[in-house]
């Protein structure tokens, strides 16, 4: 017979965490045992003796199934009925031929005077086992299904919290910094004087006036050159800023394109993982339905 690990992996694929498999199988064996009809477990039960009805017998690590006193079946009663079961004047009074039994915390008691409790001990199951000692063989499939359900839950959880939760952006572009422009235009100063010409003309000294006029023309030419130089410097600063702005805009455009590409990549990946998750859930639902169907027959 195949090992429990092999049978689980037939349902949900390879499982490397064998310690978890053993834990799930052990937990599954207990869960299934708690849901089984007592008559299925009675063949594998152990007798626990309550010697006097007052000390009790520990029942931890297992499931009590029934009790008797000297072959007389004991009726189960809740803890709150014990006083009446011990009261000789009560119609609920327990006698040797009509005993009762109850549980208080982790102990079982048979009254009056003690008796025997049939107790099924929960097994410990290892992933490499292929059967469970002192356990109904017809319930092994349900135990395997229980462990497979826990494994499938882990698969889905790992995909959600580790794989999808670990997705990160991958962007290489870095936006440049652009300094605020500082444009200056200094208006040149005209140094020529026209009053000398006017004075010379007033004195009817044409030659002197012409000399002053030539001098003024030289000032005008220099003034014109100064204006042009200042304008050239201003235009140069504007062109440099426009060039920087163009580079910035181009980088921004590249960055936006890369962001859109990365968004598309992440959306595609998330879409794939979403489909995987839906598939995992479908398997999980199928396993749970099969588990519940099988347990109902036990």
Q: Which residue has the tokens 């598309």?
A: 264
Flag whether pLDDT at 110 surpasses 90: yes
Distance from C-alpha of 17 to C-alpha of 32, rounded to nearest angstrom: 22
What DSSP state is assigned to residue 269?
H
pTM: 0.70
Output the DSSP codes for 84-134. HHT-TTSTT--BTTB-EEEEETTEEEEETT-EEEEEEEPPP--TT-SS-TT
Are the C-beta atoms of 37 and 104 separated by less than 8 Å?
no
Structure tokens at 273: 């993982």
**Following CA atoms 224, 225, 230, 233 in sequence, which dihedral angle do they give, to the nearest 10 degrees?**
140
Structure tokens at 252: 């921004």
Angle, helix 4-12 to helix 18-35, in steps of 10 degrees: 90
Burial per residue of 72-110, b for 16 or more beta-carbon CB atoms within 10 angstroms, e otherwise: eebbebeeebbeebbeeeeeeebeeeebbbbbeeebbbb
- Residues 250-287: tens digit of each pLDDT: 777 777 777 777 777 777 777 787 788 888 889 999 99
Flag whether pLDDT at 79 surpasses 90: yes
Are the C-beta atoms of 170 and 262 separated by less than 8 Å?
yes
Distance from C-alpha of 54 to C-alpha of 188, rounded to nearest angstrom: 117
Task: Give the sheet arrangement for strand 75-76, strand by strand.
Answer: 57-58, 107-111, 100-104, 75-76
Flag whether pLDDT at 165 surpasses 90: no
Cis peptide bond upstream of 154, omega within 30: no
- Residues 13-31: tens digit of each pLDDT: 999 999 999 999 999 999 9
Task: Give the sheet arrangement for strand 72-73, strand by strand.
Answer: 46-50, 115-121, 62-69, 72-73
Distance from C-alpha of 25 to C-alpha of 150, rounded to nearest angstrom: 9
- Residues 143-157: tens digit of each pLDDT: 999 999 999 999 888
Angle, helix 195-202 to helix 206-296, in steps of 10 degrees: 160
What is the per-residue pLDDT for 250?
79
The domain ranges of the chain are 4-166, 195-279
């Amino acid at each position: 017979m195949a090992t429990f690990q092999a049978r689980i992996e037939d349902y949900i694929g390879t499982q490397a965490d064998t310690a978890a498999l053993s834990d799930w199988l052990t937990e599954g064996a207990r869960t299934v045992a708690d849901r089984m009809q007592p008559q299925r477990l009675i063949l594998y039960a152990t007798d626990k003796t309550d010697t006097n009805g007052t000390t009790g017998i520990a029942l931890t690590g297992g499931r009590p199934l029934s009790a008797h006193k000297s072959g007389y079946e004991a009726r189960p009663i809740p803890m709150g009925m014990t006083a009446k079961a011990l009261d000789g004047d009560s119609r609920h009074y327990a006698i040797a031929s009509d005993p009762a039994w109850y549980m208080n915390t982790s102990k079982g008691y048979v009254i009056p005077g003690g008796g025997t409790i049939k107790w099924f001990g929960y097994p410990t199951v290892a992933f490499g086992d292929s059967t469970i000692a002192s356990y109904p063989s017809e319930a092994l499939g349900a135990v395997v299904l229980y462990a497979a359900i826990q494994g499938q839950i882990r698969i889905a959880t790992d995909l959600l919290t580790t794989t999808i939760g670990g997705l990160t952006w991958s962007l290489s572009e870095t936006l440049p910094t652009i300094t605020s422009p500082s444009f200056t235009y200094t208006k040149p100063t005209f140094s020529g004087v026209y009053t000398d010409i006017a004075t010379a003309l007033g004195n009817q000294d044409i030659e002197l006036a012409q000399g002053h006029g030539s001098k003024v023309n030289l000032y005008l030419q220099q003034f014109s050159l100064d204006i042009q130089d200042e304008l050239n410097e201003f235009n140069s600063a504007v062109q440099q800023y426009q060039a920087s702005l163009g580079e910035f805009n181009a980088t921004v455009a590249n960055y936006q394109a890369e962001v859109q590409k990365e968004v598309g990549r992440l959306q595609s990946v998330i879409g794939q993982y979403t489909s995987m998750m839906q598939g995992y859930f479908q398997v999980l639902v199928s396993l749970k339905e099969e588990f519940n169907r099988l347990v109902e027959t036990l």
